Amino acid sequence: MKFDAPQFQSEAEARRYIEALRWPGGRVCPKCGVIGAEYETKREGRYRCGAKECRKDFTVMTGTVMEASHIKLTVWLMAFYLMASSKKGMSAHQLHRSLDVTYKSAWFLAHRIRAAMASGGLTSPMGGSGQIVEADETYYGKVENPRTQRFDGKPYKPGKKQTGPANKRAVVALIERGGQARVFHVAEATRETVEKIVKENVDPKSRLHTDESKLYPRVGAEFASHETVKHTANEYARGDVHVNTAEGFFGVFKKGMTGVYQHCSEKHLHRYLSEYEFRFNNRTKLGVTDVQRAQRAIEGADGKRLTYRRTNGQAAS
Ligand SMILES: [Zn+2]
């Protein structure tokens, strides 16, 4: 990608660019929410809230994933573009080399941008009358401390796969046909955890498509229809019944994770999943360009601040 546009060249241009994305209807005080009441201070890009009881200073970075970082806005913008446009993701090492920043800064940028991409607040149900939602699960990587007990207290029996291997990380994906994906990392893909995710996210008027896994028949009965494909019998699609979109998503995710992110600890897995989910939900097939995808990630930067300690420490959410 070429970075010859003005917003990648000067801090003032970068700031104007981000301000226009974040505040299309006028500057909003991130402390009290008042719009257009601010005035400029002596420091360029720093505003003071004009509301009597507030008077707080703020910049376009305040209250975003960019807050309190010493990284230049031009670098933030380039990092947003690189991460939004790469098909399989971009490692901190690649960012470090491409942007000429320290590895530590690159790692920090990557995690914060991932947080901006996390689709928090998506609460409306997926699917609907006549619409198809695919549900599927996969297992990826190794957990640091393999579980020896199942959630029901029974020990895992080696070689006897029921709800997935004890030493693998379980991922559940819901994908609206031709639409959006929501992906979840669960400690264990049991019928209970999977049912909860499906019920909480999918409109019961939808057609639910899964493979023949035992995880879905009970919850499937609550939908307009539950249709399955028999992978064990080499059946991958029957008419429009399939889970190929979900499997395609898992394929891109696994390829990217082995090729780009070799060292992903389990506690960070949900962040990486959010990143892949974001790119999928803003994919070219839905008419989203690389530029629009990066802009949407920047818009998502609002209110998703992550402190260094939280990303790096035990208290990771
Ligand atoms: Zn204010």
Condensed to tens digits (0 to 9), the pLDDT of residues 62-105 reads: 988 888 789 999 999 999 999 999 988 888 999 999 999 999 99
pLDDT at 245 over 90: yes
Q: Quote the ligand 1 centre to 234 CA distance (angstroms).
A: 61
Q: Quote the ligand 1 centre to 57 CA distance (angstroms).
A: 8
pLDDT of residue 314: 33
Q: Quote the ligand 1 centre to 38 CA distance (angstroms).
A: 8
- 276 alpha carbon, distance to own chain's centre: 6
Angle, CA of 244, 276 and 182, to the nearest 5°: 65
Tell me the mean pLDDT in the region 216-222. 94
Q: Quote the ligand 1 centre to 304 CA distance (angstroms).
A: 19
Give the start-to-end residue ranges of the domains of the chain: 132-281
Which of the pair, 112 or 131, is modelled with greater confidence? Answer: 131
Alpha-carbon gap, residue 31 to 27, rounded angstroms: 12
* pLDDT confidence tier of residue 152, bands split at 50, 70 and 90: low
Tell me the mean pLDDT in the region 213-241. 92
Model confidence, pTM: 0.78
Handedness of CA 191, 196, 198, 203 (dihedral sign): positive
Q: Quote the ligand 1 centre to 43 CA distance (angstroms).
A: 18
pLDDT of residue 32: 86
* pLDDT confidence tier of residue 48, bands split at 50, 70 and 90: very high
Tell me the mean pLDDT in the region 29-55. 92
Where does 132-281 sit in CATH, by number? Answer: 3.30.420.10
pLDDT of residue 310: 36
pLDDT of residue 8: 96
Q: Quote the ligand 1 centre to 69 CA distance (angstroms).
A: 21
